[in-house]
Amino acid sequence: MKVPGYRDHPTEAWDPVAPADAGEAEDFLRRCYLENLRLGPVEPRLAIVRAQIAATGTYTHTTEELSYGAKLAWRNASRCIGRLYWRSLVVLDRRRARTADDIFSLLVHHLTTAGRDAIRPVISIFAAAQPGRPFARVWNEQLIRYAGYQGAKGCPVGDPRQTRFTAAMQGFGWRGKGDAFDVLPLAIETPAEGVRLYELPERAIREVPIAHPEYAWFAELGLRWHAVPAISNMRLTIGGVHYPLAPFNGWYLGTEIGARNFADADRFNMLPVVAARLGLDTSSETTLWRDRALVELNRAVLWSFEQAGVKITDHHTESQRFMAHLRTEERAGRPVPADWTWIVPPMSGSLTPVFHRYYEELDLRPAFYLDAEAATLARDGSRHCPHGEN
């Protein structure tokens, strides 16, 4: 389907040496100025941008273009269910920061800004990549992640997803406490300084202890989770210009924590523990012990965040909000790309309205992309996979 004002793209493969795509720049600027009439006519701006690309291989976004481009990237994010609020994104222009110290200071500010009082959607946009030149990046997949260790007798401690990354950080000299909820350091790479590690201060890490509205023993499990889900290794692409360091956050959907982070067998794997404390019959899958334990685990997450005054949303409410977003965008004549496998929540999917329809998955820009190298760095803490893995 061709949509006026948009260009269809295959799954994006970024060539860091290539100059900015002048056609993509024009598409974005026309869309930006069409949706923001206060910016004035677009033709004079296009002439400037064409000249900049011809002379340097790229161009510089104005503050207004950068801000609206980031919001459009959220609006276009096919895997995000929370796009109803895309206009409320707080955009922090950090393009002048160059040193690792400066970047770290601004990342701390991002977390404190996003996590202060009510959780706010925030993006911090650092310097754009210049064609053929190295660029700054954060290796971590999120600004806050818990370490993973191999405990006694091979039993995992913490988050098994982070075991390789944790080992790599230890190889750089970092030493955690060995606990289940050790916050990993930030690995910040800059062209001039290489990789440097930074410990986040306590003021930047807002956490919620997990208890249950009915079962007092739940608090004895010692679970907790951080309040701000800030993705830090995705590249933001706006009008042919690439921003490899542009961490962004919304607020948590309860099932992200309760049905995935805590429940997945290759993560914290808490369902057998909760089922045992509930006294459930786990001898057969037909008892649906996993489902019953999953509901109580998710109740605990939602209740705990609400008790702590930390913003979170449940999958039923957010599904209804996404349907409202669909209606709003359709009235505006805009397509809504969506990946069904991500939009439908990981529990009680058929009880939500987002389950009962199909979606078109368009690759519309501006957009966020996870590059292969960025994914490898976040998983392994290295550009090379260990043991010959892909």
Full 3-state SS string of 313-343: ECHHHHHHHHHHHHHHHHHCCCCCCCCHHHH
Output the pLDDT for position 7. Answer: 45
Q: Are 260 and 270 in contact (CB under 8 A)?
A: no
The b/e string for 147-156 (b: 16+ C-beta within 10 A; e otherwise) is bbbeeeeeeb
List the beta bridge partners of residue 225.
208
Q: Does 3.90.340.10 match the CATH number of domain 22-229+236-344+369-382?
A: yes
Could you give the CA distance from residue 264 to residue 261 in angstroms, rounded to a whole number?
6
Q: Which helix (H) or strand (E) holds 242?
A: strand 241-243
Catalytic residue among 31, 75, 83, 365: 83
Domain boundaries, the chain: 22-229+236-344+369-382
Count of helices and strands (H, E) across the chain: 11, 16
Share of the chain above pLDDT 90, in %: 91
What pLDDT, in 10s, does the model give residues 234-286?
999 999 999 999 999 999 999 999 999 999 999 999 999 999 999 999 999 99
C-alpha Rg value of the chain to the nearest Å: 22
The CA dihedral of 375, 258, 224, 117, to the nearest 10 degrees, is 90
The CA dihedral of 312, 318, 322, 323, to the nearest 10 degrees, is -160
Catalytic residue among 256, 267, 303, 379: 256
Compare 12 and 205 and report the one with higher pLDDT.
Answer: 205
383 catalytic, yes or no?
A: no
Concatenate the DSSP letters of all residues of 55-112 into one string.
HHS-----HHHHHHHHHHHHHT-TT-S-GGGGGG-EEEE-TT--SHHHHHHHHHHHHH
Output the pLDDT for position 183. Answer: 98
80 catalytic, yes or no?
A: yes
Output the pLDDT for position 13. Answer: 79
Q: Are 149 and 157 in contact (CB under 8 A)?
A: yes
Mean pLDDT, residues 32-52:
97
Catalytic residue among 86, 251, 289, 303: 251
pLDDT band at 8 (very low <50, low <70, confident <90, very high): very low
Q: Taking the CB of residue 264, how many other CB atoms lie within 10 A of it?
A: 15
83 catalytic, yes or no?
A: yes
Mean pLDDT, residues 310-314:
97
Share of the chain above pLDDT 70, in %: 95
How many residues are listed for the chain in this entry?
Answer: 390
Q: Are 369 and 14 in contact (CB under 8 A)?
A: yes
Catalytic residue among 80, 141, 235, 267: 80
Mean pLDDT, residues 47-72:
98
Q: Would you state the structure tokens that stand for residue 338, as one six-digit string?
A: 């969506």
What pLDDT, in 10s, does the model give residues 281-301?
999 999 999 999 999 999 999
What pLDDT, in 10s, does the model give residues 110-160?
999 999 878 999 999 999 999 999 999 999 999 999 999 998 888 899 999
